[in-house]
Structure 1
Amino acid sequence: MDQFALESSTTKKVTLRLIPFLFLCFTISILDRVNIGFAALQMNKDLGFSNAIFGFGAGIFFLGYFLLEVPASAMMAKVGARKWISRIMVTWAILAILVAFVKTPMEFYMARFLLGVAEASFYPCMVAYLSSFYQTKHHAKAIAGFMVAIPGANALGSPLSTYLLSINWLSLAGWQWLFILEAIPALILGIICFFYLDDRIEDIKWLNKDEKKWLIDVTTKERLEKQQIKHYTFLQALKDRDVLILSAGYFCWMVGYYGINMFLPSISKGLSEATALSNQSIGWILGLMYVCAMVTMILVGNSSDKKNERRWHVAVCLTVSAAAMIISSYISNSSVILSFVFLTIALCGAFGAYAPFWAIPPSFLTGAAAAGAIALINSIGNLGGFFGPYIVGYIKDTTGSFHTSMIFLGVSMIISSCIVVSLVKQSGKVQSKSDENILKKTS
């Protein structure tokens, strides 16, 4: 079998084995993370929570996530992805069920904080794990393959969550069943994960001898090439200039992203009051919006790999998202339909940036250093998930509308795009210089 055929067959097998399963796990993760936005349609009234209380509780999840992200990722490097990802899923499933039984703001805050602690490092572990099984040139496409679970979970969760709000069993409200029923799949998948995943390529039994050898050889060669670019340990990667600036860009992006995502059901409910849409109708509309975001994420990921370009793909997506968000807020009183159209464009831009952005760290770091860098970027960035919802809720309570909040979120995403554009030139130059040296050695 020639090298091209060997690469094709191996990559296909890796994709079929890992992407669907990781996609499913990540879908459940996102569903358990954002279903709080749908629960708010009923929970806030039942428990007497203001927008500020809800925003703080929704965002404090990311504070717990931030505090444990890096040390938890270090633990994965020691115990292995199989055991660690399994532990994360089982723990967060149990805590997600407990959210259904909160009564006071403090109980709400504690449950959400502990949920963030339990889920800390899940995403960076998934990215680092997946990247270790692919050549660099396939990273963005592979990452997009399972990260499409983010809009996918919302597309599925929107009509599902609004449907669950309508049930009333065993004297429990719909919002309580929403948390309970959507947590059970995480518990099941967490157990399956322990037996399904392999920690290393060497442990794989689902590739033949030639395919396994080719995959070990090509990933080892790329790892050595990356070490010529930046040979860092786990801790050294946390101090790298590029990693820190990527963290700042991701923070601003997440302020905008989670600010709108957590409140999107409430924003949509406010827009649709004139047409008296039911919660279930809003769920279907939001589901369609997230399907558009799924398609955009795949197309942008493929384009980024094809052109071998990352930073401008990220910047354009975030700028388009910011502009659409701001326009939507200005026309909300004159045209509900157009406002939903621009909200859809905003979602597409916010999600489209994911795949090219997360293909950047593995392009200049490897192994434990890559895992540490991804964890730090995700950890600092997700602090934006704390500030975004809280600020949106506070502004809504103060002004009585989401208009000012949307402008704030849009500006935050524009700042993020500027940071990413200004940053990655450095990494790109170093990468190119390294490639020239490698070519000289092999010629």
Structure 2
Amino acid sequence: MPTLVSTLSLATRTPARIRRRILPFVFLLYIVAYLDRANVAFAKMPMTADLHFSEAVFGFGAGIFFIGYLLLEIPGALIVERWSARKWMSRILLTWGLTTVLIGFVRTPVQFYSARFLLGAAEAGFFPGIIVYLNHWFTRRDRARAMAGFILGIPISLVLGAPLSALILQLHWFGLAGWRWVFILQGLPAVVLGVVTLFYLTDHPRDARWLDREERDWITAELEAEKQEKRAMGHVSVWQALLQRNVLLLALALCLANTGGYAFVFWLPTIIRNRSSLSVSWATACAALPFGVGIVGLLLGSRSSDRTGERRLHTALPLMMQAVFFMLAGLPGQSFPLVLLWLCLTAVVGYSWPPPFWVLPTATLGESAAAASIGLINAIGNLGGFIGPTVVGYLLSRNFTYTTAILFLSSCFLVAGVLILNVRVRRVVT
């Protein structure tokens, strides 16, 4: 019979061991994943000049990634739930790494569109799959911080990717332009990690040989108790989950937030160059600064959300602030340091809301329905990754100004925040 002291010890050391084992690795995976998704932003200026791509061609090519991503998003999350995270993640890493390398050899718009579409299809299911996987390992009280440890890979990948890409742009090995080497060299790590994943990840706590038996029993019992609590709330089928009001609100809000967010990422180096006298390489490297300070917002937002147990306002208010700061960055007639300040503040609040956002849907549904709802939310949400770049590319190709494009994107952030305020949160979610 476990004593109170031994139970408290287990409650402290078991989550700590799980964090040390899992979070650094999935953090590394997401750094590689997001860099392979977003490195087109760092290659944009020399690539479009070399291949004579218009802003509309670039925007559509950057965005069509998310159409391919949409096709396998929900099945990918369900595969992790019902089959094996380890094997599915390995498959994803191998195929997206090889496809990223392929982008380094495109020469026409159709080839660019096709390669980006295939990259989206290859990576589909990764993000919701990891969220479902983390739900297999972390209890409700630790989930937002676990999500933050994972999502931290986004700004870190961009902080590292901006100066790294700026350096790679200087290469001209074997007669290939530097922008081509950006894709080739940044795609190869995913292939290597695809092999490592097969041997490193463990699907469930019951299979974890790196935990003591009592630690395995403790975390399994804790997670099972949460499952029983969900079951007591009533059975919800997959299709019922897909039609729930909260799920649809979250999906639409994420779509709007991503409409602004991905356009922000894909055009940030170009905006910096447009508002300054920096060279292509220096503007690309300078893009690391907003992403770097965004890390602060991510850590503070997740910590505050976990400490208070509040998720909705921790998501909605930063989205509204993101709208204000990005709108200010788009106003003409400002000095470059002031524009850079607004861009940094946009990133700080922009990275603070994803961890509490992804806690909102996880505790109110049955296991399969939760997995499907996460996949649906992320799938619809990622349509914003297609809409934002495509619309911005169209506007700029039709001689609209960056100010007009930024005002459109800011309005998307604002409406997303309003939608989150209308989500009905049950106490169990926190």
Q: CA deviation at 1:131?
A: 1.7
Cross-structure match for 2:291:
290
User: 2:53 matched to 1:52?
Assistant: no
In the alignment, the residues of structure 2 paired with residue 65 and residue 177 of structure 1 have an alpha-carbon distance, to the nearest angstrom, of: 24
Contact 2:43–2:182 (8 Å) recurs in 1: yes
Check 1:230–1:427 CA distance in 2 against 1; reply closer, same or farther (3 A cut): farther
Cross-structure match for 2:19:
15
Q: CA deviation at 1:230?
A: 4.7
Cross-structure match for 2:92:
88
User: 2:71 matched to 1:70?
Assistant: no
Q: CA deviation at 1:370?
A: 1.7
Q: CA deviation at 1:366?
A: 4.5
5+ residue gaps, structure 2, are none
Give the secondary-structure state (helix, strand or coil) at the position aligned to 2:422: helix
In the alignment, the residues of structure 1 paired with residue 251 and residue 279 of structure 2 have an alpha-carbon distance, to the nearest angstrom, of: 39
Moved more, 347-356 or 110-119: 347-356
Segments ≥4 residues shifted beyond 6 Å: none
In the alignment, the residues of structure 2 paired with residue 387 and residue 50 of structure 1 have an alpha-carbon distance, to the nearest angstrom, of: 17
Cross-structure match for 2:311:
310
User: 2:57 matched to 1:32?
Assistant: no
Check 1:283–1:104 CA distance in 2 against 1; reply closer, same or farther (3 A cut): closer
Q: CA deviation at 1:250?
A: 0.7
Cross-structure match for 1:420:
420
Deviations 1:300-359 (A, max 9, x none): 0010000000110111111111100001111x4321110010011111122111100001
Cross-structure match for 1:120:
124
Q: CA deviation at 1:60?
A: 0.3
Percent identity among equivalent residues?
A: 38
In the alignment, the residues of structure 2 paired with residue 81 and residue 140 of structure 1 have an alpha-carbon distance, to the nearest angstrom, of: 20
In the alignment, the residues of structure 1 paired with residue 287 and residue 103 of structure 2 have an alpha-carbon distance, to the nearest angstrom, of: 24
Cross-structure match for 1:219:
223
Q: CA deviation at 1:74?
A: 2.5
Q: CA deviation at 1:113?
A: 0.5
Moved more, 235-244 or 64-73: 235-244
In the alignment, the residues of structure 2 paired with residue 24 and residue 234 of structure 1 have an alpha-carbon distance, to the nearest angstrom, of: 31
TM-score, normalization: structure 1?
0.94
What amino acid is the match of 2:312?
A: R
Q: How does 1:245-284 map to 2 (within 5 A)?
A: 245-273=249-277, 277-284=278-285
User: 2:244 matched to 1:240?
Assistant: yes
Check 1:162–1:230 CA distance in 2 against 1; reply closer, same or farther (3 A cut): farther
User: 2:147 matched to 1:146?
Assistant: no
Contact 1:160–1:283 (8 Å) recurs in 2: no
Deviations 1:227-252 (A, max 9, x none): 22353233432222211111011111
Deviations 1:374-394 (A, max 9, x none): 110000000000000111111
Cross-structure match for 1:103:
107
5+ residue gaps, structure 1, are 436-443
Give the secondary-structure state (helix, strand or coil) at the position aligned to 1:361: coil
In the alignment, the residues of structure 2 paired with residue 88 and residue 47 of structure 1 have an alpha-carbon distance, to the nearest angstrom, of: 29
In the alignment, the residues of structure 2 paired with residue 230 and residue 320 of structure 1 have an alpha-carbon distance, to the nearest angstrom, of: 37
Contact 2:323–2:410 (8 Å) recurs in 1: yes
Moved more, 71-80 or 56-65: 71-80
Cross-structure match for 2:181:
177
User: Size of the alignment, in residue pairs?
Assistant: 426
Cross-structure match for 2:357:
357
Q: CA deviation at 1:362?
A: 1.2
What amino acid is the match of 2:130?
A: M
In the alignment, the residues of structure 1 paired with residue 129 and residue 76 of structure 2 have an alpha-carbon distance, to the nearest angstrom, of: 9
Give the secondary-structure state (helix, strand or coil) at the position aligned to 2:411: helix
